[in-house]
Chains A and B, each alone.
Chain A
Amino acid sequence: MFDFLIHGFDVALSPLNLGLALLGALLGTLFGALPGIGPINGIAILMPLAYTLGLPAESALILLAAIYTGAEYGGRMSSILLNVPGDAGAVMTTLDGHPLAKKGLAGPALGLSAVSSFVGATIAIIGLTLFAPLLAEVAVMFGPAEFFALMVFAFASMSVMMGKDPVKTAIGAVLGILIGTVGVDSSTGVLRYTFGLPELYDGIDFVVMIIGLFAISEILLMLEHANRKDGNDGLPPLGRVFVSLKEVLACKWTMGRSGLIGFIIGILPGTGASVGGAVAYTTEKRLSDKDNSFGTGNMRGLAAPEAANNASAVGSFVPMLTLGIPGSGTTAVLLGALMLYNITPGPMMFSERPEVAGGLIASLYIGNIVLLALNLPLAGVFARVLTIPRWVLVPGIAILAFVGVFQLHSNLAAIYLMLIIGVFGYLLRKLGFSLAPVILGYVLGGLMEQNLRRALSISGGDLGILWQSGISLGLWIAALALLLLPWLLPKLWQAKTSKA
């Protein structure tokens, strides 16, 4: 049963892939530590690099996954030291992390968060190893109708769980799906929404989309924070650099529990690190906050979201590798990256492309150890990254974006399109949209339509096939239940409390 893992370690331990895991961990931590750049931006900016190097699919995935997990590590820097979360997933880290830094315990806080991240990620990687092949075996039974229902479920789960505004999340997903319909329709050859522009016949390119949406819009958004406080006005002193064993052991159950919570939440499509961190934090507050010190610099209050963050990041690989449905915006980007290699992740990947699935999982084990080894002694060095002024950072991102798009297409149309998408992304963010649903819609939209049309050509156009099987019916009901839950729950709650 674990053949894929043994095979995977063979792949991941090759000198090239080992080197890439190291490089990715380092680059990811650096990019994650940059002020205002979360994991998804980091991957978007660095992704063209993977193609430039002409890597085979499994190596590219190993590099990108290492960047992803590295960025989750690096993201805690600005949360703890500056109280500025790099992305939504790091918000909970600021609650107790920053107060610790203000108490002069920044060093131990960084150390503890590295250890918690390691523990959380390790729990989740073991979970992934055990759980993913099982899920893949179930998923082999999925036909087009089941996949269509699954995607509907994924979007429903995302709308409810992600962000504060379900309507805007749903609109974002629809916009993303619509962007995905641009280009030639694969089964009839009809051109859709190309407006006679030959550049659009192949659709809106993935790299152009990702870089425009994340890197360019980030540049525009950073302008607003240009006058806000930067790393420049002084980092808090790190204090003693190492976290003591006693402090770590005091949090061991916190880490274990939070890692498990984070993993389970990470598996749900669309939820990602922000929800995992929040649920772990509130659970831990309820369980172990005896003296009401959560929020004032409690070590456990830091360990909980950090363990959960990284566990969810790994957990979100489960649906991506087994079902082809990404669990988060960042895994959606990774899924798109794999599709550029003509690999569609799904239940067959464990049997057909074991080097990709196994290699990735094995490299997560390796990367996780590398990250702990890098982050414990080098926290002070990485913290320096925070002091890079924006007037160096922003032009750097711009150059990477231009070179990344240009080297793939060697034409200016792609660069103009990137700029247009960047403005679009900026407007969406200003209007209170999160970009993750847009990218999820863009990546999944094409598959969703294909599966719908395949299902309906099997049934000869009869819509009934979409909910005929037990699995698809169950998924439809689950999706409906998720959508109704936010309205029903408060009412049930009220009924209960009024009775009591």
Chain B
Amino acid sequence: MTFAADRLLGIVLIGLAAFVAVQAIQLEVPFSYDPVGPRAFPLGLAILLTALASVLIVKPGTNEAWPGRQLSMKLLLVLATLLVYALLFTKLGFIITSLLAVASLSRIFGAPWGKALLTGGLMAVVSYFLFANALGISLPSGYWVEPFL
């Protein structure tokens, strides 16, 4: 398992190096007095990366254990929560999205529903006033809460 992971990584890295190199070569450089230009450095890095990745393929190292099915599901849930948090952040405003995101994260990390919702409510409201009023950060309040503030 670990062998396969590091070998695969090595191949991916060589792919990345090739991509970096191709992109660098395709750069259109206007005339300048700089004898090196913007291409050489990324090209050098791509060569170094290829060499290092080859070592990795020949002599793979050790990895941590990969998450099982249940953990992977939870990981995706956390990522989905963060993504939805970002998507709705400006639309629904800080307080309501934070409440939802915090409650959901709390729940995924093992809190019962009641505590998760309570944490969400408290954290969203307290941090809004802390950030917006005490520290003067402008946070999206969401159009619908304006009248209440």
Contact = CB atoms under 8 A, between A and B. Distances in A.
Interface in B1-54: 5-6, 9, 13, 20, 23-24, 27-30, 32-38, 41-42, 45, 48-49, 52-53
A126 to B, nearest CB: 36
A220 B35 contact: no
B119 A391 contact: yes
A189 B82 contact: no
Interface in A422-463: 422-423, 429-432, 449, 452-453, 456-457, 460-461
Nearest to A185: B38
B111 to A, nearest CB: 4
Contacts of B138: 407, 410
Nearest to B90: A412
A348 interface: no
A399 B42 CA distance: 36
B88 to A, nearest CB: 10
A187 B53 contact: no
A174 B47 CA distance: 10
A189 to B, nearest CB: 7
Interface string B95-111: 00010011001111111
B37 A188 contact: yes
Given A193-B23, A452-B36, A220 B139 contact: no
A332 B41 CA distance: 21
Nearest to A187: B34
A187 B32 contact: yes
Interface string A24-68: 000000000000000000000000010011000000000000000
Contacts of A15: none
A48 to B, nearest CB: 9
A174 B13 CA distance: 11
B82 A216 contact: yes
Contacts of B137: 52, 403, 407
B109 A390 contact: yes
A448 to B, nearest CB: 8
Q: Which of B24, B30, B63, B116 has the most CB of A within 10 A?
A: B63
Contacts of A422: 82
A409 to B, nearest CB: 12
Contact of A398 (B20, B66, B101, B107): B101
Contacts of A185: 38
A178 B20 contact: yes
Nearest to A429: B64
Contacts of A223: 71, 74-75, 78, 108-109
A249 interface: no
B83 interface: yes
Given A168-B56, A177-B45, A419-B79, A53 B135 contact: yes
A190 B27 contact: yes
A249 to B, nearest CB: 42
B105 A391 contact: yes
A394 interface: yes
Interface residues of B toward A: which range? 35 or more
A262 to B, nearest CB: 28
Q: Which of B55, B115, B137 has the most CB of A within 10 A?
A: B137
Nearest to B81: A398
A461 B136 CA distance: 51
Interface string A57-88: 00000000000000000000000000000000
B141 to A, nearest CB: 13
A397 to B, nearest CB: 9
Contacts of B90: 412
Given A188-B30, A223-B109, A181 B41 contact: yes
B123 interface: yes
B133 to A, nearest CB: 13
B86 A412 contact: yes
B139 A406 contact: yes
B131 interface: yes
A220 B119 contact: no
Nearest to A390: B109
Contact of B86 (A49, A394, A419, A429): A419
A226 B89 contact: no
A223 B115 CA distance: 18
Given A185-B38, A394-B109, A407 B86 contact: no
A395 B106 contact: yes
B102 A167 contact: no
Nearest to A184: B38
A476 B119 CA distance: 55
8 contacts: A52-B135, A178-B20, A181-B41, A389-B109, A403-B127, A403-B131, A430-B63, A457-B34
User: Which 3 A-B residue pairs are closest in the complex by CB-CB distance?
Assistant: A461-B35, A391-B111, A395-B102
Interface of B: 5-6, 9, 13, 20, 23-24, 27-30, 32-38, 41-42, 45, 48-49, 52-53, 55-56, 59, 61-64, 66-67, 71, 74-75, 78-79, 82-83, 85-87, 89-90, 94, 98, 101-102, 105-111, 115-116, 119-120, 123, 127, 131, 135-139
